[in-house]
Structure 1
Amino acid sequence: MTFGLIIIGDEILSGRRHDKHMAKVIELLAARGHALAWARYIGDERPQITAALKDALASGDIVFSCGGIGATPDDHTRQCAAAASGRPLALHPEAKRLIEERMRDVAIEQGVPFEPDRADNVHRLNMGVFPEGAELIPNPYNKIPGFSLGDVHFVPGFPVMAHPMIEWLLDHRYGHLKPVAHAERALYVKGSMEATLTPLMEHIEATFAGVRVFSLPSVDHPQRGRHIELGVKGEPASVDAAFVALQAGLRALPSVEFGTE
């Protein structure tokens, strides 16, 4: 299955916070033999969030959505998930129990009575108001859960909470998925331009099914100077043969130098 990632929050787009989700999700997926296919960054605008979640729900992909599931005025993800799925919002009974358990734990830590009817505690229950039929995602950090609608999963924006929750999903919901066989080989090319290499790249992709060619030019590398990192990736059975053909094609070009170091 295809994995996608949605990261929500004005603070990411403004630079007030640096995104830590994408690199970690790539790492978690790679450790299990999977790869991230796409990612979207969205600000705290309900129409944009709702549209992105509609796309995610319709995609058939496994999607992790990070951020905006709290209960402050700048948190919109729960409401947008309800609008995108066409489901009403309702307080999830188990989420209510977990949130109250967390509030009770905090009261004990602070040495004060637990007052469930106090206005701020009643407000905290909004963190358990999810689209009807949602499944809970356990939160080992503070017990306040995330939720899932099918294969679209909603976790907090805090990495310390979100990353263990995503890891739990990968192991408990998707541990049965077989790793995707994948190989990648690359070399460094000097003395050529991408336009000159394009016919060779197109030939490789046309000749070897399941193989994609990538080209990553650099103009000011501190060690290699101007060069192109050129490579092939895809099904392991085809990648080795494609890499041999790539090297043969480079040898046939005038004034081209290449190597793996």
Structure 2
Amino acid sequence: MSSPPEFGLLVIGDEILSGKRTDKHFSKIVELLAARGLELAWAQYLGDDRARLTAALERVLALPRAVVFCCGGIGATPDDHTRQAAAAALGRALVPNEEAQALVRAHAERMARERGVPFDPAHPDNLQRLQMGVLPAGARLIPNPYNGIAGFTCDGPNGAVVHFVPGFPVMAWPMIEWVLDSSCNHWFGAQAQREHSVVLYGAMEAALTPLMERIEAEHPGVRVFSLPSVDHPVHGRHIELGVKGPAALVPAAWRQLHDALRGRGEKMGPEQVRDR
């Protein structure tokens, strides 16, 4: 089994940046990856600007061994630019995908039946909907269990794979789960992570920094973190100090950190272990 790739997330939409809607994708993707022993390496928010989207996708598609989920902007209204930006970033044409358009047409037929009206494939609304099946050449489809209108996947030149799904969580999340379970399952568990931390009362980060640096130097692959708080409702002013990294490497680093803190006479509170 090869080592896992870098997992990334792009969330698209002016409504997120303006605060009109609150992003829910970030926390959910972290949850979906963690449940499979994987972790998110980065996330980026972008508005509905085609030039900026194209530049961002050019950078992402050029990455080596990355798996990126891009949520939003794949519809057929004037403020949806993700399909066009993906094609431009890849230097490919946007072309009608017969399977994708058949799925769009089937959805339109279902909507007509539900309304009790005849389906007219030549109606301007239905012709416009077919634009959701116009995709970058070579794109592969991602099934959408909610309404059948597919997302799509594009491969970059250096090993990156970008999966494009709608912005609606009710559609995007099961589609992302399908991608993970169908094409990323050979990496499951490979990034199992652990955090082990302790609450410190009255400690100073500056005084702890040399110890933190020593732990990281002596335990490659493990990172030390310090999270100060000034108004915690239970612990008041304190520092949460701990180590995090691959589950197999954390225990030794934690023992060294804990012993050093005890030797310094630090006032220690509750410990916490988080497995991801």
TM-score past 0.5 threshold:
yes
Q: Aligned residue for 2:141?
A: 136
Q: Which runs of 5+ in 2 are unaligned?
A: 156-160, 272-276
Equivalents in 1 of 2:202, 2:58: separation in Å?
47
Q: CA deviation at 1:109?
A: 1.0
SS at structure 2 position matched to 1:95: helix
Q: Which runs of 5+ in 1 are unaligned?
A: none
Equivalents in 2 of 1:235, 1:97: separation in Å?
45
Task: Identify which of 207, 218, 226 aligns with 1:215.
Answer: 226
Determine whether 1:118 maps to 2:118.
no
Equivalents in 1 of 2:13, 2:19: separation in Å?
10
Q: CA deviation at 1:178?
A: 3.5
Deviation per CA, 1:131-150, whole angstroms, max 9, x where unpaired? 00000011111111110002
Deviation per CA, 1:54-77, whole angstroms, max 9, x where unpaired? 121111310000000001111110
Determine whether 1:89 maps to 2:94.
yes
Q: Aligned residue for 2:185?
A: 175
Q: TM-score, normalised by structure 1?
A: 0.97
Amino acid at match of 1:166: I
Amino acid at match of 1:157: G
Amino acid at match of 2:101: K
Q: Aligned residue for 1:193?
A: 204
Deviation per CA, 1:21-65, whole angstroms, max 9, x where unpaired? 011111111111111110000111112111111121111310000
Task: Identify which of 235, 238, 252 aligns with 1:227.
Answer: 238
Q: TM-score, normalised by structure 2?
A: 0.91
Determine whether 1:107 maps to 2:112.
yes
Task: Identify which of 136, 154, 160 aligns with 2:170.
Answer: 160
SS at structure 2 position matched to 1:241: helix
Equivalents in 2 of 1:249, 1:118: separation in Å?
73
SS at structure 1 position matched to 2:185: coil
Equivalents in 2 of 1:4, 1:234: separation in Å?
18
Deviation per CA, 1:110-147, whole angstroms, max 9, x where unpaired? 11111000111101100111100000011111111110
Q: CA deviation at 1:252?
A: 3.4
| Count of aligned positions | 260
Q: Which has the higher contact order (CA 8 A, sep 6+)?
A: 2
Equivalents in 1 of 2:57, 2:203: separation in Å?
43
SS at structure 1 position matched to 2:146: coil
Q: Aligned residue for 1:52?
A: 56
Equivalents in 1 of 2:226, 2:217: separation in Å?
16
Q: CA deviation at 1:250?
A: 1.5
Task: Identify which of 14, 26, 39 aligns with 1:35.
Answer: 39
Equivalents in 2 of 1:235, 1:174: separation in Å?
19
Equivalents in 2 of 1:100, 1:233: separation in Å?
49
Q: Aligned residue for 1:24?
A: 28
Equivalents in 1 of 2:56, 2:207: separation in Å?
39
Percent identity reads 60
Q: Aligned residue for 1:205?
A: 216
Amino acid at match of 1:67: G
Amino acid at match of 1:39: A
Equivalents in 1 of 2:238, 2:143: separation in Å?
47
Q: CA deviation at 1:236?
A: 2.7
Deviation per CA, 1:64-108, whole angstroms, max 9, x where unpaired? 000000011111100100111111001101011111111111111
Moved more, 232-241 or 144-153: 232-241
Amino acid at match of 2:154: L
Q: Following superposition, which runs of at least 4 residues in structure 1 exceed 6 angstroms of deviation?
A: none
SS at structure 2 position matched to 1:199: helix
Equivalents in 2 of 1:163, 1:238: separation in Å?
32
Q: CA deviation at 1:195?
A: 1.1
SS at structure 1 position matched to 2:36: coil
Moved more, 44-53 or 31-40: 44-53
Equivalents in 2 of 1:143, 1:236: separation in Å?
39
